[in-house]
Structure 1
Amino acid sequence: MKLENLSKSKKLALSILFDAIGIVTFVDIIWAPLSAYLMTKMYKGNSGKAAGAISFIEEIIPGLDIIPTFTIMWLYTYVFSKEEKKKEVITVEIND
């Protein structure tokens, strides 16, 4: 399964799940690189790489686990990003 090809709703569900795992896990030395890897697979390009680095740092530093990095990236990608809005196509039908 390619994570970057998932629908928006499936990515949101996975983001919430991954953030929950990050909060409850006590094995940050294992979860930090895994979360960075998953982030780069879910979101391609420079944004995904930057989010992966941020996710790694957030998970490896004690006390920052409460930050929902995956959900924030989902919001950035699908709510606040101008790239996504460029992809929208509006069709207007004119009847005479």
Structure 2
Amino acid sequence: MAKAFNIGDEVAITATVRRRVTDDRVSVSIPSYGQPHSIVDRTMQVRKGQHIELIGDVTYLLDKNRVTVNLGIPVTVDASVLRLVNAYKPPTRKRLLVDKPI
């Protein structure tokens, strides 16, 4: 069963390290995303097969099963591979919309 996400929610995806591309970039495999993705990692401590958590915001809901997440670039994945980090809460008003009468 798919989880319900809303636009603006902060979500996490667990990706697997594929290989080191350069000194500061690592190629990762994201579940249910059919293309390789690279991220910046300057620690030089990650190894092939290690899991990394990528955090981004939900930008688009295709249907109940597919969600687009902004990880620097938009990535569309199944909702079942996502974990909710923070739900979006709209800002609250501190002042009234209209001026007070004089």
Give the greater-gyration-radius structure (CA): 2
Q: Which has the higher helix share?
A: 1
Q: Same fold (TM over 0.5)?
A: no
By percentage of residues, which structure has more strand? 2
Structure of higher RCO (CA pairs closer than 8 Å, 6+ residues apart): 2
| Superposition TM-score, scaled by structure 2 size | 0.22
The normalised TM-score by structure 1 is 0.23
